[in-house]
Chains A and B, each alone.
Chain A
Amino acid sequence: MSRLEIRNLWKEYGQQIVLENISLTIAPRAFVALVGPSGCGKTTFLRLLLGQEVPTRGEILLDGQPLPREPGPDRGVVYQRYSVFPHMTVLGNVMAGPEMKTARFLGRRFGAARRAIAEEARAMLAEVGLAGAEDKYPAQLSGGMQQRLALAQALMMKPRVLLLDEPFGALDPGIRSDIHRLMQRLWNETPMTVVMVTHDLKEAFTLATRIIAFERRRDRPEERDRYGASVGSDIAVWPPRSAGGPTIWTSDYLPDRDDPILWGPTTGTTRPQGA
């Protein structure tokens, strides 16, 4: 599975402390939203998970193993911009991962192997709603479609962890709710843990199972350099969602806080039994 453990993580740039003593455990298949004001280290934290940056102190474990010190195929990423390659067609973008994984010298496959990858890529594109756009270049797609493409490209590698850096921040509201639905479906159907940085609390509550707010406890100007951000609040979203499980949108009943079903099988009952 894909449990992330973050132990006493610090990140400093020279004199400036950005993240301060962060310890978290992220359950397998969780969908974590990182929120917080600008400059509070959300993106830095995401980069640490990605391996793009190295922690100053502390460690990050993925399923008990320390994270490699550079990005790799076990962690996918979608950024707000520049997530896809402008010089490859839509199909080429989605095929790039599997091609580069299997052809280590040319980065391209030919013949039957190529057709197999193309087949898989077309299926993935259909999955994200981009069927028919295979031969276009990313610049010919709208912003929403580019993000769908970026998701398809990342998911082709079957990452254990998918990292999203404000992926839907630049989209307009209608497009955004469409892509939220897609994101929910992908999370439900794909065995991966998702960590998403967002500015949008509504988005966080729509998608996530858990919301972690980063916050600087000391934020006076003279303190700003020497005190970094840490976890301010850590909220489990209610009603609880679980990947692949029913949600209030799909189940027949509407749970509420007192619904015993959500707490698993009960041991006793006040209802009269038998005759």
Chain B
Amino acid sequence: MRLINLHPDRGTRLVLGLAPFGALMLAYLIGSAVRLAANPADKLLPALTTLAASIERLAFLPDPRTGDILLWADTLASLARLGWGLGLATGGALAIGLAVAVLPLARAALSPLVAFVSMVPPLALLPILFILLGLGEVSKVALIVIGVMPVMTRDLALAAHALPREQIVKAETLSASTWLIAIRVVLPQILPRLIDSLRLQLGPAFLFLIAAEAISADAGLGYRIFLVRRYLAMDVIFPYVAWITLLAVLLDIGLTGLRRRLFPWSELRA
């Protein structure tokens, strides 16, 4: 039988899917054991017990200086920034994307600007944002918005533009006004795309968040990682990176579930 016709069953698929994770884990354990055998004070690949102790200290015990539980305080601060940034970016992208897709006049006026702005490297704007908006929350949220919104806007405008012209004409023959075409024909059909677009932008959003926090913050997941970097505290950095990844994965799964639940038709193929 040819390899291309060999399909794994459920159990095999599970095992195959988990195997790379197991292999990575094993590689880490071996590497860690080898390094610690050579030098018990090695900080690069801490042992599982060290990691567990750090996780307990960060996630379950209050910090002796501030009295906060660090992991939660950092997570809350970061998610608040991320939420504001993604929320504003999504709202803005939806409004501009819809206008650009539905109104030829808005398309003529806005799409060159959006195309131009989406090419600006957002991190290069970070100093400007810090200078203009100060070192507080506003500049971090602004960085996420600037980094994420133009891409989402273009994506939405493309998705809306790809709707068959026939549907728009059909809506006109059903007496719909421009406004009704926008909210009853175009908007519902680009919302699933909006959610997918948001999922794809989670990665960049975290990137901008951590970059902004690394430079100036007093709490946050990125702040913590860059703070303990000077002490080579891998026992803190590894759990934080794993936690950030887990958060992003959970958000991704949650958004997919949301799309399926809200727009069951988006799973169907015509």
Residues of A within 8 A of B (CB): 50, 52, 70-73, 75-77, 79, 81-87, 96-97, 100-101, 104-108, 137-140, 153-154, 156-157, 159
* Contact for B189 among A87, A100, A156, CB less than 8 A: A87
Known contacts A79-B166, A87-B263, A139-B269; A97 and B174 CB within 8 A of each other: yes
Q: Find out whether the CB atom of A72 lies under 8 angstroms from the CB atom of B175.
A: yes
Say which residue of A77, A86, A107 sits within 8 Å of B183 (CB atoms). Answer: A107
Q: Is B164 in contact with A139, judged by CB distance below 8 angstroms?
A: no
The answer to whether B172 touches A107 (Cβ under 8 A) is no
Per-residue A-contact encoding for B168-193, CB less than 8 Å = 1, 0 else:
01111111110110011100110000
Instruction: Give Cα distance in the complex from A125 to B120, angstroms.
Output: 53
- Nearest A residue (CB) for B167: A82
User: Which of B166, B167, B188, B189 has the largest count of A CB atoms less than 10 A from its CB?
Assistant: B166
Contact A100 B176 (CB under 8 A): yes
| Chain B positions within 8 Å of A73 at CB level | 173-175
List which B63-113 residues lie within 8 A (CB) of chain A: none
* Contact A96/B184 with A83-B166, A87-B263 known, Cβ cut-off 8 Å: yes
Q: Does B60 touch A at the CB level, under 8 Å?
A: no
Query: Do B269 and A76 have beta carbons less than 8 Å apart?
Result: no
Candidates A50, A84, A101; contact of B175 at CB < 8 Å: A101
- A77/B263 contact (C-beta < 8 A), A139-B270, A153-B174 known: no
Task: Check A107/B176 contact, CB under 8 A, given A82-B164, A83-B166, A86-B265.
Answer: yes
Residues on A with beta carbons closer than 8 Å to the beta carbon of B266: 87
* Interfacial chain B residues near A81, Cβ < 8 Å: 164, 166
Alpha-carbon distance A190/B98, docked complex (angstroms): 37
Q: Could you pull out 21 A-B pairs where Cβ atoms are within 8 angstroms? A: A50-B173, A72-B175, A73-B175, A76-B173, A79-B166, A79-B170, A81-B164, A82-B167, A85-B185, A86-B268, A87-B266, A96-B171, A97-B174, A100-B176, A104-B179, A108-B184, A139-B269, A139-B270, A140-B268, A153-B174, A157-B175
The listed residue with most A CB atoms (<10 A of its CB), out of B174, B189, B264, B269, is B174
Residues of B within 8 A of A52 (CB): 169
Question: Given A100-B184, A139-B268, A86 and B170 touching (CB < 8 A)?
Answer: no
Question: B174 — which chain A residues lie within 8 A by C-beta?
Answer: 73, 96-97, 100-101, 153, 156-157
Report yes or no: B189 in contact with A83, Cβ–Cβ below 8 A: no
Asked if residues B175 and A100 are in contact (CB atoms below 8 Å), the reply is yes
Identify the closest chain B residue to A146 (Cβ).
B270
Indicate whether A50 sits within 8 Å of B176 (C-beta atoms), given known contacts A86-B265, A137-B264.
no
Give A51's nearest chain B residue, CB to CB. Answer: B172
The smallest beta-carbon distance between A90 and chain B, in angstroms, is: 11
- Given A100-B180, A101-B175, check contact A77 B170 (CB 8 Å): yes
In the complex formed, the residue of B with least CB distance to A104 is: B177
Inter-chain contacts of A50 with B (CB < 8 A): 169, 173
Structural contact, A71 and B166, CB atoms closer than 8 A: no
CB–CB B172/A70 < 8 A? yes
Give Cα A154 to B170, complex, Å: 8
A100: which B residues are within 8 A, CB to CB?
Answer: 171, 174-177, 180, 184
Cα separation A99 to B166 with both chains bound (whole Å): 20
